Amino acid sequence: MRVDEQLSDEDLIRRACDGDTAGFQALVERWLPRMHRWVLGMLDDPDEAEDVVQEVLVRLYLKLGAFRGEARFSTWLYQLTRNAARDARRRTRRRERRMAPLRGDELAAPARNPAAELERHEDVTRVRHAMAALPERQREVFDLVEFQGYAPTEVAALLNLSPGTTRAHLFRARRAVRAAVLGADAPATEARP
Amino acid sequence: MTCDDARQLLLTADLAELTPGGPMPLGAHLAGCADCRALAGRVLAAARVVQAERDRPPRRAAGALAEEARRAARARRRARRRWTAVPALAAAAVVVVLLVRDGTPPIPIPPRTVETTPLVDAPPGRHVAVFETGNPAIVVVWTF
Ligand SMILES: [Zn+2]
């Protein structure tokens, strides 16, 4: 059964709460790509991300009736996702996690220029390390804008932050991550003729 | 714009500004300076790798994930109901005390503190367990 794509989130939620399987499915189809990116940004681990997405969907199904429409659905769902990711992080932290592998490799095209490939590979590792050291909010804002294509104003709404705070987080995170990538090359503060 | 200025901007500019010929004035500098262009290129290349990772879809399709979530949610709901029904089934061994918020509770048990405060003493030689239920007005006290 095909649920009308024109239906609003609120309509789909109402249908799902009334036991309409197709309504819930349509809601999941609509939000899954975004939700999956959010979780990837929060955990940076594709295997674990899918488990967390599954858990978010379970919680979504159980709590859908509690969504009152006072907040935007995106903000509410983001919070639900954030909590599930946090629970997962707490569990895995106990397991002495190894550093995230360099998955840049798998995605990169076959190396035509090995030196450039190596440099990119190292830069991606620096990005990961620098991001891991950021405060959580900074990291979230940075990931959403830099890697998921959100405008800062959209991030502000999603995270319930003021636009000014969002911009400040983004500014600090960018500076920290890019300085880590470019290392000593970054600001040309060394004496130049 | 000097290279120093450009490199300061490089650290905080939007990704769209890091391409040569992008928005002025950084774009103009990058178009004419190979060194700064190389640095901007590294920032962009690393960002593209991570962007591609974020775009990787989940292995399972939305329909399968939704179906499994529905099933798991229902199982979780059933398990919750079963758990609250257990004391009733073992009625012979169990003393059930229902505390209704509106009435005068026979034993004062604030639901949020039952786990940490010893509010119920077990009868001699017996144990006592206190459970919260799905209904915040009802607390189950089980002696065994
Ligand atoms: Zn320059």
Q: Do A18 and A85 belong together in one domain?
A: yes
Where does B11-95 have alpha helices with state H? 26-32, 34-54, 62-89
Q: Is A129's Cβ below 8 Å from some Cβ in B?
A: no
Q: Do A173 and A128 belong together in one domain?
A: yes
Q: Do A10 and A89 belong together in one domain?
A: yes
- Residue A68 belongs to domain spanning: 1-100
Please indicate, yes or no, if residue A107 is contained in any of the structural domains: no
Please indicate, yes or no, if residue A82 is contained in any of the structural domains: yes
Q: Do A92 and A116 belong together in one domain?
A: no
Please indicate, yes or no, if residue A191 is contained in any of the structural domains: no
A&B contacts, CB < 8 Å: 124
Count the neighbouring beta carbons within 10 Å of the beta carbon of residue A45. Answer: 19
Chain centre distance of CA A114: 30
**What average pLDDT is seen over chain B?**
78
Mean predicted confidence (pLDDT) in B94-123: 52
Q: Which tokens is A127 given? A: 């990005």
Q: Do A82 and A124 belong together in one domain?
A: no
Which residue has better confidence, A58 or A190? A58
Burial of A34 (0-12, 13-18, 19+ CB in 10 A): middle
A52, A77, A100 - which closes a domain: A100
Please indicate, yes or no, if residue A7 is contained in any of the structural domains: yes
| CA A11 to each of CA A7, A14, A21, B102, B132: distance values in angstroms, whole numbers, following the listed order | 6, 5, 13, 37, 34
Cα(B117)–Cα(B112) distance, rounded to whole angstroms? 10
Please give the torsion angle defined by the CA atoms of residues B3, B6, B11 and B13, in that order, rounded to the nearest 10 degrees.
Answer: -170
Q: What is the DSSP string of B122-134?
A: PPTT--EEEEE-S
Name the percent of chain A lying above pLDDT 70. Answer: 83
Query: What's the pLDDT at A181?
Result: 95
Query: What's the pLDDT at A102?
Result: 46
For A67, residues 6+ apart whose C-beta sits below 8 A from its C-beta are A13, A73, A76
Chain B residue numbers with beta carbons less than 8 Å from the beta carbon of A36 are: 57-58
Query: Does residue B87 have a pLDDT over 80?
Result: no
Query: What's the pLDDT at A46?
Result: 86
- pLDDT tens-digit profile of B34-56? 999 999 999 999 999 999 999 99
Q: Do A44 and A17 belong together in one domain?
A: yes
A57, A77, A100 - which closes a domain: A100
Name residues 162-181 of chain A within 8 A of B (Cβ): 171, 174-175, 178-179, 181
Domain harbouring A95, CATH code: 1.10.1740.10
Query: Does residue A2 have a pLDDT over 80?
Result: no
Query: Does residue A175 have a pLDDT over 80?
Result: yes
Segment among A135-144, B12-21, B31-40 with least mean pLDDT: B12-21
Chain B residue numbers with beta carbons less than 8 Å from the beta carbon of A41 are: 54
Asked if A54 lies within 8 A of B56 by C-beta distance, the reply is no
For chain A, the domain total comes to 2
Q: Do A116 and A44 belong together in one domain?
A: no
Q: Which tokens is A159 given? A: 């995270």
Mean predicted confidence (pLDDT) in A57-63: 95
**What average pLDDT is seen over chain A?**
86
Ligand 1 center to B37 CA (angstroms): 7
pLDDT band at B130 (very low <50, low <70, confident <90, very high): low
Smallest CA–CA distance, residue B138 to chain A, in Å, is: 21
pLDDT band at B89 (very low <50, low <70, confident <90, very high): low
Q: Do A138 and A166 belong together in one domain?
A: yes
Query: Does residue A101 have a pLDDT over 70?
Result: no
Cα(A11)–Cα(A95) distance, rounded to whole angstroms? 42
Q: Which residue of B has its CA nearest to A120?
A: B46
Query: Does residue B98 have a pLDDT over 80?
Result: no
Q: Are A54 and B69 in contact (CB under 8 A)?
A: yes
Please indicate, yes or no, if residue A193 is contained in any of the structural domains: no
Q: Are B19 and B27 in contact (CB under 8 A)?
A: yes
Q: Do A26 and A94 belong together in one domain?
A: yes
A100, A132, A155 - which closes a domain: A100
DSSP 8-state class, residue A102: -
Cα(A75)–Cα(A59) distance, rounded to whole angstroms? 15
Mean predicted confidence (pLDDT) in A98-103: 49
- Quickly tell me which residue has 């600090």 as its tokens: A172
Count the neighbouring beta carbons within 10 Å of the beta carbon of residue A56. Answer: 27
ipTM of the prediction: 0.83
Please give the torsion angle defined by the CA atoms of residues A114, A116, A117 and A119, in that order, rounded to the nearest 10 degrees.
Answer: 120
Q: Do A33 and A83 belong together in one domain?
A: yes
Domain harbouring A176, CATH code: 1.10.10.10
Q: Which residue of A has its CA nearest to B77?
A: A62
Query: Does residue B2 have a pLDDT over 70?
Result: yes
- pLDDT tens-digit profile of A9-45? 989 999 998 889 999 999 999 999 999 999 999 997 8
Q: Do A93 and A118 belong together in one domain?
A: no
Mean predicted confidence (pLDDT) in B49-76: 94
Please indicate, yes or no, if residue A44 is contained in any of the structural domains: yes
Please indicate, yes or no, if residue A178 is contained in any of the structural domains: yes
Q: Do A126 and A163 belong together in one domain?
A: yes
